[in-house]
Structure 1
Amino acid sequence: MLTATVNNVNLHYALSGPKDGPAVVFANSLGTDLRLWDELLALLPAGLRVLRYDKRGHGLSEETPGPCSIELLADDAAALIEHLGLGPAVFVGLSIGGLIGQALALRRPELLAGLVISNSAAKLGDAASWQDRIDRVQQGGLPAIAEATMERWFSPDFRAGGSDRLWARMLARQPAGGYGALCRALAAADLRGAVPALRLPVQVIAGAHDGAAPPEIVRATAGLIPGARFALIEDAAHIPCVETPAEYAAIITRFLEEIGHVR
């Protein structure tokens, strides 16, 4: 296992591919760890230098005291990219990872060659809904929200076969304190006024059945960013890298090719 202490937090990460390969960084969703991307890796172009990491308070990364913000999470990502000497990288962020990517692109554009905003938007939810989520976790732990979360994360067809059970267990095993801290960060995050200033290549991806980031708000964010591409995956919900990995990988690969980030 690999860890690095950057930006005053110890982060767990995985790094694969040739040392001189073009870098792609993956930031996963709230309530998951870096294993979310496992099935996707073999479907990406050969020769990439791939970084996956657990956000603070998730997976095997350190849970830190005090308030958290999207800007702090973006600074974590920036520090890890710099520590590993990976920039300029393409950053692929899913859900809260997409907000982290937007904040990173605004704060440290020199570190990025491109940005994929997946199943995310410049603003996700509202303060009341996030506080309700926090209250439920405080009362019953993460298992108390597992069923409702699976309904948002995956399409009915995917769930019908019980394929969501593994992911429900992953959610339930995340640190409750870290989950709550990131919920508070999401409640406060609103980048709608800032993202029109982005000037890097951007690919936006939505899932037609997404109950956490409905496609209309994902598309609206794409409309705020000059030149952003938009793709809708008809058979996926919130976690297309799990539900439809081949189609998801094809969209990312096409984007990498269009911006010249693959050899």
Structure 2
Amino acid sequence: MTAGIALHHRIDGPDDAPVLVLGPSLGTDLHLFDAQVAAFADRYRTLRFDLPGHGGTPAVDGPYTMAGLAQSVVALLDRLDIDRVHYAGVSIGGAIGQQLALDHPGRVLSLTAMASAARFADPAAWPGRAATVRENGTEAMVASRPGTWFVHSFAGTDEAERLLAMLRATAAEGYAGCCEAISTFDLRDRLGAIAVPVLAIAGADDPATPPDMVRVIADGAPDGRFETVADSAHLLNAEKPEQVNELLAAHLASVGADRR
């Protein structure tokens, strides 16, 4: 069960700095955030983790749920003796952040959800994607990522190939289990209970979580702000790191995260 799994993780930055947790997307690993760590590790203690079956975290038997994944993040914080954190996540990573802010409000100081949703599109289709990957492996998803993970003009770059290598290395069962967690995820009627400042960022050209879907998070939160990043799709933090880093830095500064 996802609530009990030990998540592989990496910590960078000063021990006495505020903690910024970075939650990755489906099919990527903690190195999705290399550009963010490079930009923030002098001011924050960045904590990255891998989803089950992704990167260094082993796949476990299901069912996977977003609440279970959020509980696994809490368990990681407890093991590291970390109390309250700023959280930023991409796609399912952003969904875990929403769940964390609602189910464990005492642990979250601020939330940034990038290319995420309170309810992802076409929930009935996710079990079918899980079945496809269980049968054919994550290679079955690679051809559909250009235009979805990143705009077509970004395809073929070294960074695009690095991201696709993460997908190819993802265990089928971990990917499939996370698909099933996405299919049952729906926090739309709970967003009003998020008690921390929320920044929701969309890639302007993202077909997976279009801007209007991402905007729901900001509009539903009592203290929410919405931004878009031009010429980017689903993995906008890797496509447009400077723009995303600027938005994230401003959000963290607005909630006093820079104070030691």
TM range (shorter): over 0.9
Q: CA deviation at 1:156?
A: 1.8
Residues of 1 paired with 2:242 and 2:43: CA distance? Answer: 18
**Aligned match of 2:136:** 140
Residues of 1 paired with 2:143 and 2:78: CA distance? Answer: 38
**Aligned match of 2:242:** 246
Matched letter for residue 130 of structure 2: I
Q: Secondary structure at the match of 1:149?
A: coil
| Structure 1 pair 200–151 and aligned structure 2 pair: CA distance change class (3 A) | same
Residues of 1 paired with 2:3 and 2:184: CA distance? Answer: 21
Structure 2 residues not aligned, in runs of 5+: none
User: Which of residues 177, 180, 184 is equivalent to 2:176?
Assistant: 180
Following superposition of structure 1 onto structure 2, how do residues 1-263 of structure 1 map, counting pairs within 5 Å?
7-44=3-40, 46-159=42-155, 161=157, 163-263=159-259
Q: CA deviation at 1:17?
A: 1.1
Confirm or deny: 8 A CA contact 1:45 1:253 kept in the other structure. no
TM-score, length of structure 2 as denominator length = 0.94
Instruction: Return 89-98 or 154-163, whichever deviates more.
Output: 154-163
Q: Secondary structure at the match of 1:124?
A: coil
Percentage identity across paired residues of the two chains: 35
Residues of 2 paired with 1:59 and 1:243: CA distance? Answer: 20
Structure 1 residues not aligned, in runs of 5+: 1-5
Structure 1 segments of 4 or more deviating over 3 A?
Answer: 160-163
Instruction: Return 85-94 or 174-183, whichever deviates more.
Output: 85-94
Matched letter for residue 124 of structure 2: A
Q: CA deviation at 1:45?
A: 6.5
Q: Work out the number of aligned pairs and report it.
A: 258
| Structure 1 pair 14–160 and aligned structure 2 pair: CA distance change class (3 A) | closer
TM-score, length of structure 1 as denominator length = 0.93
Q: CA deviation at 1:206?
A: 0.5
Confirm or deny: 8 A CA contact 2:6 2:76 kept in the other structure. no
